[in-house]
Structure 1
Amino acid sequence: MKAGFLPKLLISPSALLVAVCVYGYIMFTVYLSLTPSTIMPVLDYEGTAAYKRLLNLENWQVALSNAGTFAGLFIVIAMALGLGLAILIDQKIRAESLYRSIFLYPMALSLIVTGTAWKWLLDPGVGLEHTMRDLGWESFSFGWIKDSEMAIYCVVIAAVWQTAGFVMAMFLAGLRGVDSEQVNAARVDGARTWQIYLRIIIPQLGPVFVSAFVILAHMAIKSYDLVVALTNGGPGRSTWLPSVFMYQYTFTRNEMAVGAASAVLMLVAVGIVVLPYLFAEMRKAKHGQ
């Protein structure tokens, strides 16, 4: 028996399950998007009719608009807040481990728990608004979660709260790897702290910015649990994202082909974000960088 046979034998069941249950079902979904499937799968080939119908649906356009608003705010705020927290913690503060644990804790929670907790907090009847009025601030009002124009920002708030600590940890690791000799030389030359960060430290965090962007972008594209737990897509369609659209059309509105087409487009979007990053990392590893 060859030395490499046993490891391959042990890995083969997992590899087979991944091949069938992940890539197999991905291919099945792609094929369903090319059929006239409605409430049940139909294997008759119909071409791109489902994609044409999908692109003309107002609900899909609303979902894309909401996704653009959510993803843009979520990525920018989470990265800015994470970088800010990392810079503050990097100042050799006391109880650094405690603060790191506090900021990282939300990432340990499931998105369902996060969505449910923020739903209670933002509900005007039992949450922040109710509490502030009980404390005597009768004019206080915060009913964003019930407002179709503002509800998407509630999803942004909850998502940033969940992920900002994780982004902080990434930036903190990057800050600890910055070349200290350049920083010390700049201080000797009389550079101010903000100049050191702007011209020396932050430019060296380029790879961390890219990694954080890729992670946050793919989370924004496939966000579903948080939205359902927090707003269930409402009020109306105000917090519909492509993932919510996909579920609604596949399992509620019985348009399986349209739902599959939306899932395929989401997969393509994730691939556009993730694959260039993976190829770049593989190229670096190949060349020993």
Structure 2
Amino acid sequence: MAYTVQRDVRDQLRAWLPKIVLSPTIAILAIFVYGFILFTTYLSFSNSRMFPRYELVGWQNYEKLFNLRAWDIATTNLMIFGGLYIGICCILGLFLAILLDQRIRHEGFIRTIYLYPMALSFIVTGIAWKWFLDPGIGLEAVVHSWGWESFSFNWIKDRNMAVYTIVIAAVWQTSGFVMATFLAGLRGIDTEIMRAAEVDGASSFALYRRIVIPQLRPAFMSAFVVLAHMAIKSYDLVVALTNGGPGTSTEMPATFMYSYTFTRNLMGIGAASAEIMLLTIAAIIVPYLWSELREKKA
């Protein structure tokens, strides 16, 4: 009888131990993530300025937000940056993955080189590219020292071109990650299908266009979701590289949110911009998760 009781106690401990271990993490997540999301939502409907206020003003902050020229500039820059960033990363990552999939020599070393930038923080990447693109000390100065005096590359100082320098730095950092994602997808494709197509006389271009790339749809979706999420919340790279300038030419929603919340002391408008960013990310991630769950059930 005593042995049975001890066994029941041990079984109950085994069942409760994972819950006990995970409960602090779940509590912290609930408070400091979802709790603050709800708090930010509340602030977006309040008249908060330097400090939180709890007097609700309805949709006034959202109306003011969409009437601000700075928000229009930030969203336009995000569309330019996000479109180029996602498109170039996917194309370049796929190209590199196809090259590495040819079982070339020293593949592990080359793959490590491509993945290394992902180990750096966006702050380090932004500062490094800021030095490299600075006309006074970077690429332009080096080329001038070689004797090519007419060479000019001052995009980082040009209001019309500065946003493209952010694209260059972001692509440099994350294209290796996209390459690894596509390479994992390529290694998971059934080789028998490809061999059968080669026997039927399919060219390499047709092989990749009709067989390989369509089977990489999950990898494309994963890369798109990750890159879109990183583009929407891009803050540290922008601050380190251009600090939103020249002027507001590289302002992004994340830098707009920080500026209006902590610099201009318009916390209600800043919270409203944060909610728009959250809804945009949710509009990307939720359909992706729903399609993944549907495929697993099927």
Q: Scaled by the length of structure 1, what TM-score is found?
A: 0.97
AA matched with 1:166: F
The match for 1:180 among 172, 186, 191 is 191
| C-alpha distance in 1 between matches for 2:196 and 2:52 | 67
Deviations 1:219-272 (A, max 9, x none): 111100100000000001110010011011001111000000000000000000
Give the Cα–Cα distance (whole angstroms) in 2 for the partners of residues 16 and 226 of structure 1.
31
Candidates 189, 205, 224, aligned match of 2:200: 189
SS at match of 1:238: coil
Residue 212 (1) aligns with residue 204 (2): no
Q: What is the alpha-carbon distance in structure 1 between the residues aligned to residue 218 and residue 284 of structure 2?
A: 15
143, 148, 163: which one aligns with 1:152 = 163
Say whether 1:133 aligns with 2:130. Answer: no
Match in the other structure for 2:273: 262
Deviations 1:165-206 (A, max 9, x none): 000000001111112111111111221111111111111111
In structure 1, distance between residues paired with 2:70 and 2:23: 43
Query: Offset of 1:283 from its aligned partner?
Result: 3.4
The answer for the alignment partner of 2:119 in structure 1 is: 108
Displacement, 1:284? 3.5
Query: SS of 1:4's equivalent?
Result: helix
1:59 to 70, 78, 86: 70
Shift of 1:282: 3.0
Q: How far is 1:279 from its partner?
A: 2.3
Aligned-partner SS, 1:38: coil
Alignment-derived partner of residue 166 in structure 1 = 177
Is 1:77 aligned with 2:93?
no
Mapping 1:234-273, distance limit 5 Å: 234-273=245-284
Q: Does 1:98 align with 2:74?
A: no
For 1:34 and 1:207, the matched residues in 2 are separated by: 38
Give the structure with higher Rg (CA): 2
CA RMSD of aligned residues (A): 1.0
Larger CA deviation: 86-95 vs 257-266: 86-95
Aligned partners of 1:50 and 1:246: how far apart in 2? Answer: 13
Q: Distance in 2 between matches of 1:188 and 1:282?
A: 36
Normalised TM-score (structure 2): 0.94
